[in-house]
Amino acid sequence: MSVRPSDARRGTSPWVPLLVVVAIGCAIMAPLNRQFLTASNGYVILASAGLLCVIGLAQVVVLSVGEFSLAIGGIGALSGVAMGYLLVERGAPLAVAVVVALAVGLAAGLVNGLLVAYSGVHGFVITLASGGAFTGLALGITETQPYNGLPEALTVFGTGRAGFVPYLAFATVALSLAAAAFFRWHRLGRLLLTVGGNREAAALSGLSPVRAVVAAHALSGLLAGAAGVMAAAQLHEANASVGAEWVITSFTVAIIGGTSLAGGVVSIGGLLFAGVILALIKDALVMLDVNPLWVTLTQGVLILAAVFLGRSSGWRAVRRPAAPRAVSLEGAAS
């Protein structure tokens, strides 16, 4: 399913070079370690990629409108802890606890959006402060001790699989399809991309940049909450420190995937392959017995490479001031 951009020059879809990178990485690793191409290792890579992609989606939504969020990790941690508290301390049904966790993420994102839109303070300051506050609240609730003994249905979702495909990956694909449909067909999704493409022109056209900013942060919080639930399911515990590295991860997946830092352009298909690439790198470093701390350096290098490639290639659409944007799983927004 692709969209033919009406105001963009033709170029390679963002996910095509990323697919090539995945193929090259697999070709390099296969002879180096016989376990690499096994079903169990495929499961490990896809399970890691599934969570990475949802974290990236939370950032993509905010980037689409020309903003960004440093609070994704804090929101995810608080949402997961809220779920753990209800399940372990209050004996709440799993469905209720998950809904509350998502509602916590949505509310936290909404608070960020309202503060950014109406306070006049830069979003960097707002989300940096709120992210720390959300993490601190999660730590206070747990008293630095994770909630263990989560329901089996939740842990099976986090670590179960069909063949070598994790159940969690199905949720990631569903969320990605929903995000692609949102940006392509929903009025609010197109508003976010239009405002991100040119905020002044959108305002002069009668569109509401304030509404777009608030909605973007709220949806980002909802997705961060979903990532918090998924992380707790994977770890079999609700831990307040789970989102410590999510900020750089969210930017890495989004930018490598083809989403523009300037707003107005997103690529959901590219994001999925970017998540697989990061998971592949982590898996390769473990198999080659390399210090995993090198992953952070690798992420920084990949971000720089993606930014420079995006500026010099035809991966992204040409921005035109008042043109609405659309998105598909296979290309950048137009």
Q: Per the domain annotation, does 86 fall within a domain? A: yes
Confidence band for 323, pLDDT divided at 50, 70 and 90: very low
- Does 330 map to a domain? no
Q: Give residue-wise pLDDT tens across range 267-303.
A: 999 999 999 988 988 888 888 877 767 766 776 776 6
Phi, psi of 278 (to 5 degrees): -65, -40
Domain count, the chain: 1
| 52 touches 283 (CB < 8 A) | no
In angstroms, the CA 7 to CA 334 distance is 7
For residues 97 and 101, give the distance between their C-alpha atoms in angstroms, rounded to a whole number.
6
The chain-wide mean pLDDT, for the chain, equals 85
- Residue 150 counted as domain residue: yes
Q: Give the percent of the chain with pLDDT over 70.
A: 85
Q: Is residue 326 part of a domain?
A: no
Where residue 49 falls among pLDDT bands split at 50, 70, 90?
very high
For residues 38 and 26, give the distance between their C-alpha atoms in angstroms, rounded to a whole number: 12
Q: What is the per-residue pLDDT across 230-267, written as a single tens digit (0 to 9) for each?
A: 999 999 999 999 988 899 889 989 988 888 888 888 99
- Alpha-carbon Rg for the chain in angstroms: 19
Alpha carbon of 217 to those of 107, 116, 212: distances in Å? 10, 9, 9
Higher model confidence: residue 301 or residue 65?
65
Q: Which of 333, 42, 302, 19 is nearest to 196 (CA)?
A: 333
Its pTM stands at 0.87
Domain that holds residue 76: 15-312
Specify if 319 maps to a domain.
Answer: no
Q: Please state which of the ranges 83-87, 215-219, 330-334 shows the lowest mean pLDDT.
A: 330-334
Predicted local distance difference test score (pLDDT) of residue 29:
84
Output the domain CATH number for residue 98. 1.10.3470
Q: What is the DSSP track for 117-175?
A: HHH-S-HHHHHHHHHHHHHHHHHHHHTT--B----HHHHHHHH-EETTEEHHHHHHHHH
Q: Does a structural domain hold residue 45? A: yes
Residue with the larger pLDDT of the pair 132 and 328: 132
177-214 pLDDT per residue, tens:
999 999 999 999 999 999 998 888 888 888 889 999 99
Is the residue at 5 inside a domain?
A: no
Say if 332 falls within a structural domain. Answer: no
